[in-house]
Amino acid sequence: MIIQESLPTIELAHELPERLRLRAPWLADRRLDRLALEAALLSLGGVRNVRLNPYAGSVAIQYDGQVHHRQTILAWFQRPPPAILAEPTSPARRPDPDLLRVFGALAGLALLPMLSPPLRRGLTYAVIAPTVWEGARTLSQKGLKIEVLDSLAVSLAAARGKYFTAVGTQGLLALGAYLEQRTARHADDLLRHLLKPMPVQAWVEREGALVQIPCSELQAGDQIEVGPGDMIPIDGKVIGGNAAVNQASVTGENLAVRKETGDRVLSGTVLEAGRLRIRATRVGAETTTARIARFIENALQQQSQTQTLAEKLADQRVYLTLGTGALVYAATRDLDRLASVFLVDYACSLKLGTPVAIKSAMYQGAKHGVLFRGSSALDSLAQADTFVFDKTGTLTSGLLEVTDVFSLDADWDEKRLLALVASIEEHATHPVADAVVKQARQQHLGHIEHEDVDYLVAHGLTTQTQGRRVAIGSRHFLETHKHISFAAHEDYITALEQSGKTLLYVALEQRPLGLIGLRDSLRPEAKTVLTQLRQSGARRLVLLTGDRRDKAEALARELGMDEVHAECPPEGKAAAVEQLRAQGAKVAFVGDGVNDAPALIAADVGIAMPRGADLARATADIVLLDEHLQTLLAARTLSVGTLRLIRNHFHISTGVNTAVIAGAAFGLLSPVWSALLHNGMTLGVLLNSMAGVSLKADRLEAFKDKLDTLKAAYQSGRGG
């Protein structure tokens, strides 16, 4: 939740030609969202670097020295957004790591030799007081946790007069806690750095002229213009111009992608060269960047099954440490050994390492075009043993192309028929319409005038041209709703359907006028990706399609799939998924359409393709932002590798901590050495978790190059 309050204006504390230092009380507020502040300032023109000093309540800004950029920076601070102050109880914000306890322990160690015994005792108790208090508070509020063992360990050393041991152990505990908090905070910061600041203003066409308006006022259907260096503020479709667009912030693809008329563009991407005119399809909270932000905030707050289990195991092992200590003391009556045992626990590496590893995987995923809705999605994908694919738009490209134009009227040739259909279909936005319009443009066909178009969703279009009624759509629409029979042309229809074509039916004045055949091509990388999915542990690959059974089975054999559900109606997809789950399978469903939403929800983990319908993307657990199916492999690699990493950390921490406890029990390790070895191992686990699972970018790029080669060969074999 955001605190809506006016923020006081800021004062200019110091200025150099390319540097400003500004000061205000709210910059020292603990509620300040540091990353939001830095991101907002870095999005301003000319700003190169931002460094916040919350203790001094100031911020230093390096910029290019231009006067207008200086004015922009100062103007921003006159009205800073209240959203940069967040509720202090927000679960997504961790407390700042405290280094004062570390310095306090170091100062105590330096002073102890110079003090009298009473003063040594007083200083020791003062230094260890925070740990003792934390232990007592934890015991009263949460029960027996690791904080209680730490408190007992330093208290035992101090009570026996071993002040150096008590203060040294306190210093190691404080240093370990500081580094652990820093690492965990860094994991959160990595994800938050993906929250890209969006442009504040946009150039939009109003009454034939370009005017600059706030992005918050943009609406779907607006036509905006974007130039070199500008960030695209909306999701939309290019209607003019061409440009090189850097999509690294969304898909992780470092090389700029050429965009021209008809191409789709995403918010948060940046034009490197050229200029585009774009019709907005999604604005504000519906854009890709806004959805990424919601995914990340959700990821920061959710806890996965693996993380919950890790914390449960960690808490159970506190009792193991306590029981071991009791046995050691009963056998030896040695308080030093007891303190050494209490300083070793299994909880830190398990409780801290697991969420850090998961968030690192989410960060790597987002950089490579994979959005995990939460840590539970990563868990479920790793455990999935059955992958169910909807065919259209998933195993196929989802981009139709016109392959055949048949005129059924001697007065109409194929070009005139195609021109008529394209002139009407240009008012629709579905893939069939896009393919027909694209084919007509490639043939440079002229526009045929017609009246207003009536659009019946999922059926077809009707209009009038030169006083005659035209109907375009599915066979069901024309025969059932318009009562126009195509039975006389069954041979043509059967031949096209058997060759795997999708048909568009055209009628003029209640009689058949023509047929247009379209084909959705199989993704060239599909077979390779499915093979590698099987190598990653997938035991069963299943195809769902509305195609006839013979065609579906042929495709399944080509791809090496295990099971086919053919002639599957939309409502049957979820039923097929439920059936597989009833058989004990852990199901991952991959789809992209509106009709896929029930199946995405029914599966253990739902995965939406980048061109997926809004409803599919809203109900999916994982959204892929890159068109390559290889992105699915990246998601699987991250999920499986992260769970493997967590398991390895569990075994390593258990083994090392057990060895340290054994050394402490036999008197081989002092409390200081126990704390040093235990904290060192914990930090090693945290750093390895922070590194996470490598996707080996060079191999991924090589794989993409191979896919591009396959695609080029595929298109060449079909004659372009």
Angle at 628 between CA 626 and CA 633, to 5 degrees: 95
Q: For the beta carbon of residue 387, count every other beta carbon within 10 angstroms.
A: 28
How far is the C-alpha of 270 from the C-alpha of 16, rounded, in Å?
A: 31
How far is the C-alpha of 583 from the C-alpha of 578, rounded, in Å?
A: 9
Residues taking part in catalysis: 390
CA nearest neighbour of 377 among 196, 643, 631: 643
Find the helix or strand (DSSP H, E) in which 178 lies: helix 163-192
- List CB contacts of 713: < 8 A, sequence separation 6 or more: 524
Structure tokens at 404: 């055949």
* Contact call for residues 117 and 194 (beta carbons, < 8 A): no
* Contact call for residues 224 and 265 (beta carbons, < 8 A): no
Phi, psi of 456, deg, nearest 5: -105, 115
How far is the C-alpha of 691 from the C-alpha of 398, rounded, in Å?
A: 36
One-letter amino acid of 194: L
* Contact call for residues 255 and 233 (beta carbons, < 8 A): no
How far is the C-alpha of 176 from the C-alpha of 186, rounded, in Å?
A: 15
Find the helix or strand (DSSP H, E) in which 422 lies: helix 414-425
Q: Are strands 209-214 and 201-206 parallel, antiparallel or unpaired?
A: antiparallel
CA nearest neighbour of 468 among 540, 412, 516: 412
Phi, psi of 14, deg, nearest 5: -160, 150
Structure tokens at 176: 């370990």
Burial class from Cβ neighbours inside 10 Å (0-12, 13-18, 19+) for residue 185 reads middle
Cross-sheet strand order for the sheet of 563-565: 370-372, 622-624, 605-608, 587-591, 386-390, 540-544, 563-565
How far is the C-alpha of 504 from the C-alpha of 513, rounded, in Å?
A: 11
Angle at 273 between CA 271 and CA 276, to 5 degrees: 60
How far is the C-alpha of 343 from the C-alpha of 150, rounded, in Å?
A: 6
* Contact call for residues 611 and 659 (beta carbons, < 8 A): no
Q: Give the total residue count for the chain.
A: 720
> Per DSSP, what are the bridge partners of residue 463?
470
- Angle (deg, nearest 10), helices 305-332 and 146-159: 30
